[in-house]
Amino acid sequence: MKKFALGCGGLIILLVLIMGIGGCASYNKLVGSSQQVDASWAQVQNQYQRRADLVPNLVQTVSGAANFEKSTLTEITQARASVGQVKVDPNTAPTDPAKLQQFQKAQDQLGSALSRLLVVVERYPELKANSNFRDLQAELAGTENRIAVERMRFNTAVQNYNTSVRSFPTMLIAGIGGFQTKPYFQATPGSETPPKVNFDFGGQKQVPAEK
């Protein structure tokens, strides 16, 4: 009887050890996945900040053009200010979907304002010929591409993390450790449809140059 009790006791201890080791492995996996999400979030923030830093120089360069639409510059300035009003931790990804949506909305408004600026610039040949503007335009285009890439990487990291949080038995450790699912960046409604650009300003037709 004693041998049986000792055997059962040993088996219980072994099971506890196995569960403990498994729990530690699951916890460490969650920590690593969460840190990857935060690292990806920091890169997204870096690229958005890079774009925001370009705005003052871009506005200053464009405002030097004669009769340039002041409403366009005002829109960009206000959109940039709205971005600064949305307070988020640059190093820790938000867990509140509403907070991320608010942040994304402000950033998308700035992106739309900058896109409209580049369309309006088509009316001003002197700006298109300005080397400083061309450099800023190229840098802005590169930044927009990097933003798209970093947002995609962020969503991939969030997907991997959320999968771990919701998977059994890791979900048990997630509940004990306070690990919550994190929201994704969502596609902007209508972003799948390319914007229509009309360069027939004022109904004036371009007359081809004589050869």
What domains can you pick out in the chain, each with its CATH number?
2-183 (1.20.1440.20)
Q: Residue 47: its pLDDT value, please?
A: 95
Using DSSP, state whether 186 is helix, strand or coil.
coil
The CA distance from 73 to 58, in Å, is 10
Q: What is the mean pLDDT of each run of 10 residues along the chain (211 residues)?
A: 54 52 76 94 95 93 82 92 91 92 94 92 87 92 95 96 92 89 80 40 38 35
Q: How far is CA 95 from CA 10, 70, 92, 187, in A?
A: 42, 39, 9, 18
The CA distance from 110 to 81, in Å, is 9
With vertex at residue 45, the alpha carbon angle to CA 39 and CA 95, rounded to the nearest 5 degrees, is 65
Q: Residue 54: its pLDDT value, please?
A: 94
The CA distance from 110 to 76, in Å, is 6
Reported pTM: 0.78
